[in-house]
Amino acid sequence: MKTFKVLGGGCRNCEVTADLIAQAAKDAGIEIQLEKVTDMAEILGYGVMSTPGVVLDGKVVHAGGIPGPDRVRDWMRG
């Protein structure tokens, strides 16, 4: 199972990013674990300075804006 963390303060872009990830997983028919991280110390611990950030299985794969749908689908396949 893939584990995703959406890093951010709970802004609209963070919510949209989390929704994109959840929908892509549903469309791909795979089960994921999705966590929203709002603690700034934890976010900075990943080295993310611009949110939303996305962590996939412990590795930062995106930061600074809503990821494109193709990129999110790639995360499901990878």
Task: Report the number of distinct structural domains present in the chain.
Answer: 1
Active site residue 58: no
Q: Which domain holds residue 15?
A: 2-77
What would you report as the CA-atom Rg of the chain, rounded to the nearest whole angstrom? Answer: 11
Catalytic one among 4, 6, 8, 14?
A: 14
How far from chain centre, in Å, is Cα 9? 13
Per-residue pLDDT tens for 37-57?
A: 999 999 999 999 999 999 999
Cβ–Cβ under 8 Å, residues 44 and 9: no
Q: Which residues of 41-61 are buried (b: 16+ CB within 10 A; e: fewer)?
A: eebeebebeebbbbbbeeeeb
Q: Domain holding 29: CATH number?
A: 3.40.30.10
Residue 16 CA to residue 29 CA, distance in Å, equals 20
Annotated catalytic residue 1: no
Q: Tell me the pLDDT tens digit for each residue of 67-77.
A: 999 999 999 99
Catalytic residue among 3, 10, 11, 35: 11
